Chains A and B, each alone.
Chain A
């Protein structure tokens, strides 16, 4: 009979490693690095269904070509009509932002939130450079970067909620509504601030007022519907 040198328990002759701690039995040929065995009954790790690296590269190439061709065409049209760069700055800025995001998501193997943060940083650099190269720093700091930051915050928040939700259903729709309402508030606040120098909210408050009750109803329905559970356990007194 073999004895586990870690737990001191008795192992069957056929066991190559201790089922309690994964310590390999002396002479079984298992390396120390493969100690973590999956105990009986424990679900094995299920990898997420993701694109393979060649698939990611191919997708990135297609999107990049579309963005680049659009970008060049926009620039040329604007330049031909106005003899300088004017309105085309904005579609170009959007194209550069999308490019920054897809590039990091395609080639930077990191957790999603880190990828978002990296993409945000890269986009900010692109926007600043574009703004600087056209008419000097004008719209990027006051408008482009705050809008980008708000959109990223909402996206990161929604990803976090989706990740943490044990039961994914109508609740995600409700969170999406709340995220959109918050983004509307941010957009109006940033736009008004950029144009008038003050903070004022109008249409975005109406959006929030309409969306919040809808979201609450969706949450309620979700709690009611999920796997036939009642609300009693959450609200029991």
Chain B
């Protein structure tokens, strides 16, 4: 008889204690205050008087084992053997004396890891998988992010923005990359092309019908075979039908392009959390460097940096000066597509005579 297979140890989320820097473990829940001695460095002081310095560095998120081992060598030699990662894939090293900070920064810089991403900086871009691993990507994510961070690295290593700037990139409008002060998302703009010979073989048709957000998909017989059809007037080209039904090809190299959205904010600080809004579209999908995307992002960042008040996030700035002025200051064109025409979108129209001349 064959040996019984190993069954998983359903251990769930591990305890964090074993992975915590000793100073953090000792002062868990008992911190007093913090400041930022320089960009990329946080300094926390515990009620016990203990101190810890955190050095934050940018990574490429998709890391090879050699890069991770290099980062671990740095942690062992300069940072007491512990690290953590942020939600934006920055690596953080914690050290218990101020004297360890500069040698650590020098080593990280020498190895090609920029130090920054704290405070009023443009931090690393949270992003999706793109051509490397996603099944409905209109573009690459890691590549577009690398190209953009090359352009924005000075804003990563400095803290010169009015408030923090958080960017996201998504390889379709399903937007797994998340809300951002600036969200850079590719948009499929054509309905899926259906290979009717394949649908009956590989797709569970009710599942595909249920998946469509606008009920544009319905069962149909095509050339005597069970298949699906799409009401192209209703289709909003999201691509959600592709994963359960690969014969519904959504990738369109010719027509897909980037839309840029601004004003997303997750914090409750000052104003309530907000979603990002459309400001630009039709931006070409131009690998490997996507220069047109960088140009629009830099245009928005430049206007924000020049005009916003201290502590205003991009969306708060636009709300204060008014969206007409946002388009004026950024030089971006305003079109009929900026006007929300979904039935709940009336809340976004101006029911007042509040106008700035």
Q: Do A and B come from one complex?
A: no
- Residues of chain B touching chain A, judged by Cβ–Cβ distance below 8 Å, are none
- Residues of chain A touching chain B, judged by Cβ–Cβ distance below 8 Å, are none
